[in-house]
Chains A and B, each alone.
Chain A
Amino acid sequence: MSSHAFTFHGLRFEARASGALWWPDGRWLVVADLHFGKSERLARRGGPLLPPYEGLATLERLGSEIATLRPEAVVSLGDGFDDMATIQALDPAVLAELQRMATMRDWFWISGNHDPLGDAKLPGRMLVELPLASVILRHQADPQAGPDISGHFHPVVRLAGERRRAFLLGKDHLILPAFGAYTGGLSCEDASLRRLIPKGIAIACGRRAVALPIGVAPAKGR
């Protein structure tokens, strides 16, 4: 699986094709918007009964990144769980595996809008923000308080006729794609993302990580 290397405010990172961010110097693996328990929450509210395998699927992908990279710390940038009740109702197999992974290394749960702080059943530390050198890791990018690394928006980009999850890299903000299996996407053209990153690079995930410019009209008239 390939990755795309870049520097953001003095820190060297790799955008993994899986949608995870790798900080090789500190051996940190950063993921956003895992949304464990999404299908369970929809069912609880009387919605459709989606295939109940997204926890397994997300965990498998996360597990494979951990096995490959052997990180010393894992950071979840918020919305790790679809809501507080899903933490309680999580598939026992998924919970056990998550606990196993989390006890072997440092694990930081940053709180998101779906999962405000804290549940004792989970190993690891609960935080609102986590500083890394001059950069803040938080759930949602703060236009006034960059540089930051965040998730929340589930950005996607169009490339060669396909919609692909994407990292968005701007001057002050680095926004990660959603890592969870059942997550929708917001186009990088959307106004709320354009406000944060008017111009920059998108790194599309998929079989390979592919970088392309955003916010720049492609040259015409060739």
Chain B
Amino acid sequence: MILPPEFQDWFARQGWQPHPHQLALLEASGDSLLIAPTGGGKTLAGFLPSLIELRDGVRKGSVHTLYVSPLKALTADIGRNLARPVADLGLSIRIEDRTGDTGQTQRRRQRVDPPEVLLTTPESLALMLSYPEAPAIFGGLRRVVLDELHALAESKRGDQLMLGLARLRALAPGLRVTGLSATVEDPHALADFMAGRAPVAVIQADPGPDPDIAMLPTARPAPWAGGGGHYAIPEVLDAVRQARTTIIFINTRAQAELFFQALWAANDENLPIGLHHGSLSRESRARVEAAMAAGELRAVVATGSLDLGIDWGAVDLVIQIGAPKNVKRLVQRIGRANHRYNAPSKARIVPANRFEQIECVAALQAVREGDLDGDPREPGPLDVLCQHILLTACAAPFAADALFAEITTAGPYRRLTRADFVACLDFAATGGYALRAYDRWQRLMLRDGLWRLRDPRSTQLLRMNIGTIVEAEMVRVRMRGRGGAPLGEVEEAFAASLSPGDTFLIGGRVVRMDAMREMVIEVSPDPGRQPKIAVFSGVKLAMSTQLAHRVQALIGDPSHHTSLPPDTRDWLALQAQVSRLPEPGLLLSETFPHAGLWHFALYGFAGRNALQTLGLLLTREMEEEGLGPLGFLSTDYALLIWSLDPVRNPAPLLDPARLRAGLGDWLGGNAVMKRTFRNVATVAGLIQRNMPGLRKTGRQATFSSDILYDTLRKYDPDHLMLRVTADEAGRGLVDFGRIEEMLSHSPRCEHRMLERVSPLAAPLLLEVGKVPIRGEGRERLAGIEAEALMREAGLEFSA
């Protein structure tokens, strides 16, 4: 396919030259993956072949091009952007979006009379594929464009999308698929992920000039511990003043709130600065986005909520507060600055503490060397497959052999075993329990060789629960009084820790909790007071393995310390003098007394999730050895445990077999496992997020997923859902694989008994997030708390 003359004219009228990668996509004969920086006309590249084909006229009544993006906002934006060339070229093409926001009337019409170009999300695609009309809607599909594929591939949404794509490829043979992605570490792995039966060609656009990226120089050195980055406020404000528009990325929502507040406290010129994160209400986020688009803001403080999204051409500076934890993410964030192709992106990094200073230096080296990190993608998870099987049955009865053949054409499920497929089908049909209790009430029945839904009422429930994003239970926050403005959401666990009168930060202001009514927290403004509680928990990103190795190498080789700031250099030199420096291949630990307790520090560099798991496992071993562990703390770099008696020889505690044994029997009952189970069981359709006609009184027809988890562990320990949970936790929150990686990467253990805290351990003592060890302790705590409440209320109860 070549660019027709009227398209060439159109480009010329815009004053543009088609990019080589745009032309390369036209020439591609099969499926392709385009890797291009932001601003490279990526989306237009993806749509050009469709526009040319549609110009030549196609039969109506079926979608020609399907565009899938991770964000609803993007589909609307793309629709607007495409409208211009379509109008200029006089093409008669209907372009419509179909997302969770699309109204019922339009949905119905789209099922009968589909547009030529349909813009959607993975979840809406799964829903459309579950309709009996799916073959008619998609039978004539010629092209699929997958936008921001790198982001989709990072989660289960990508697995679900690939299963849907396998379905589309079966419904419309000859379909051509184009993936669009930002820079990734392994383009061929991503190409394999989106591939069907035939391989996918990778097209690399010119990456453009190297980014202008450096540490932000500050007058004061980074503090020893903490994650706020507030010491750099004056320099950050200076940088904002000098740039046109800045995005200030910060890793957690709580940190974003605090940084935003501190920034405004010093913002004497009243530079317009906004705040954007996932816990703010949709209205507030939309306001900030609109203000950014209109060029009314000079800066926005944001979390990962702005990692993707609409291009704001005006952004010319990105500031990253806190270590990026992951080189690829850093590079992608840098790409958010300066969307003019062929102009370097500008970014500045602000480490939050001494350890992060080293991490930032290591990350900058990695960026310069183009060494991106990322773990190889795991095979497609089985909970997503269970959901897919049930949704397939919603569309039409299916034969097991045919479905298995189709599923194994999807990249993530290419190596799915027949046994695992059968287990998932059995789960979908009967629940898959050892006690075969549901013979009469199976969800799927086999009749005439085809699996079908027993009860047509199931379809509504299943369709209401489509998707793979499982949110934490959230509680809404709004201003007190009738029609009080919504401010955002906090996690239910955080809401439960609040009492009336407590103050906390949300949306950059301090509010006081007045009451909690029907799962809504009502608050009043309470400026001028220090927020009593400023944190709401959120997922913390762990430092990537590759970056950890770089940090370890940098610390371990004093000849490279010249690249570090002077105070950090002195700190490491002192550590080398009184203890020793960790280095690649060596697992260093120290025992020292401090504040009347023994402390054990282990420099594992394995990321915070793995080190938290290790903390749980080691304290359990220490409990058994009678060392009296009282608590621990984990960071990305190190684990610190305090106890009544000292750890003198850690080697036996760190025996992998012993640790793995502990993982099996003890961690099984851990809250981390329960949280993972809730996600898995929800995606697989065992727990329903949405139910028709659920009464609004708060009287819960549903119950805690913990009960299901405990019941299964007791009565059906080999059940599929428990296996999937263990797999997922093993590489996610529990991250046991990373502990094993740490032990094999650093086979030599060296332990130092010290008389006092070492320089490297000192910042750990200042960190927050200590985990107390509880067993019987939890019950005692409950008793003490209840007694105190009774006394305050003037009630004494004796048994």
Contact = CB atoms under 8 A, between A and B. Distances in A.
A122 B505 CA distance: 57
B546 to A, nearest CB: 36
B688 A45 contact: no
Nearest to B390: A48
Contact of A212 (B443, B454, B711, B790): B790
Contacts of B716: 51, 53
Contact of A163 (B704, B783, B799): B704
B698 A218 contact: no
B431 A184 contact: no
Interface stretch (A21-29, A130-138, A142-150, A203-211): A203-211
B433 A51 contact: yes
B789 A212 contact: yes
Interface in B704-740: 704, 707-708, 711-712, 714-716, 719
Contact of A51 (B431, B786, B789, B793): B431
B786 A210 contact: yes
Interface in B421-472: 430-431, 433, 435, 437-438, 440-443, 453-458, 461
B799 A45 contact: no
B539 interface: no
Given A46-B454, A51-B711, A182-B703, A160 B797 contact: no
Interface in A15-50: 39-40, 43-50
Nearest to A55: B437
B795 interface: yes
Nearest to A211: B797
Given A181-B711, A183-B703, A52 B437 contact: yes
B700 A48 contact: no
A159 B719 contact: no
B516 interface: yes
Contacts of B40: none
B793 A161 contact: no
Contacts of A3: 799
Given A43-B441, A186-B698, A57 B793 contact: no
B753 interface: no
B558 interface: no
Interface of B, helix, strand, loop or mixed by DSSP: loop
A120 interface: no
Interface residues of B, number: 58
Given A6-B797, A50-B431, A51-B715, A185 B703 contact: yes
Interface string B508-549: 000000001000000000000000000000000000000000
B655 interface: no
Contacts of A46: 443, 453-458, 461
A91 B433 CA distance: 14
A186 B697 CA distance: 9
A173 to B, nearest CB: 17
Contacts of B697: 190, 192
Interface string B680-691: 000001111000
Nearest to A38: B703
B496 interface: yes
A204 B715 contact: no
Interface stretch (B47-55, B300-308, B641-649, B774-782): B774-782
A221 to B, nearest CB: 8
A104 interface: no
12 contacts: A3-B799, A47-B458, A48-B687, A51-B431, A160-B782, A182-B703, A184-B703, A190-B697, A201-B797, A208-B783, A213-B789, A217-B500
Interface of A: 3-6, 39-40, 43-54, 56-57, 89, 91, 153-154, 158-163, 181-187, 189-190, 192, 201, 204, 206-208, 210-213, 216-220
Q: Which 6 A-B pairs have the closest CB atoms?
A: A49-B431, A46-B455, A184-B700, A52-B437, A43-B441, A184-B703
Given A51-B711, A53-B715, A208-B783, 7 more contacts: A50-B708, A51-B712, A57-B711, A159-B786, A161-B496, A210-B782, A218-B792
